[in-house]
Amino acid sequence: MVNEAVKKMAPILGLGFSRHKIRKVVGTARHSAAGFTLLEILLVVAIIGMASILVVPNLTGLESRTFNAQVRQATSLLNYARRIAVVSGQPSTASFHVSDGSTEEERAASSSPTSVGRWDSNGASLSFRDSTEREAEVDEKIEITFYPEGGSTGGTLLLSQAGQLANIIIDPFTGRVSSETPE
């Protein structure tokens, strides 16, 4: 009875193959499969190629992301200073410094008493264009002051790093801060 069940479940046994021959064929196939097939090698190469396509652009875009983060940080500092001036009823100042390697004590001593924050360039060059369209490169620091009634000293901060440019525009009458990327 067991023999009939085996014949029905494994039709290969009914074709004249004995169990001994099947064990011999399976055993031989198991031991002769040493090495890799061409298909396996191509599959591994394709996976490595796809991984490199995903990784390489992320490495080259690192400078771009760093610069964009600096622009967002500068814009946030200006908006924060504006908000503090309106809420507190006192002028507030945002300080923008070109990296100079100074210590924390020197930085604290160089900031004005109304300063609400400091932005360091971290490799970006900084210029300032005032409301009369005069442009000057910032050598050490520049401070933008916001007043309680909503106005500010105004102007445009021009940031550049590795060929990337960004303008942060501060409206002198309303104190509104906006940023743009010139093409």
Q: What is the pLDDT of residues 28-42, one digit of tens each?
A: 555 555 788 999 999
pLDDT of residue 69 exceeding 70, the answer is: yes
CA–CA gap between residue 111 and residue 67 (Å, rounded): 24
Q: What is the DSSP letter of 156?
A: E
Query: What is the per-residue pLDDT across 78-128, written as a single tens digit (0 to 9) for each?
Result: 999 999 999 999 999 999 988 755 555 555 555 677 789 899 888 888 999
- Global confidence as pTM: 0.63
- For the chain, report the end-to-end CA distance as a whole number of angstroms: 85
CA proximity to 98, closest of 183, 164, 158, 170: 158
Name residue 68's amino acid. Answer: N
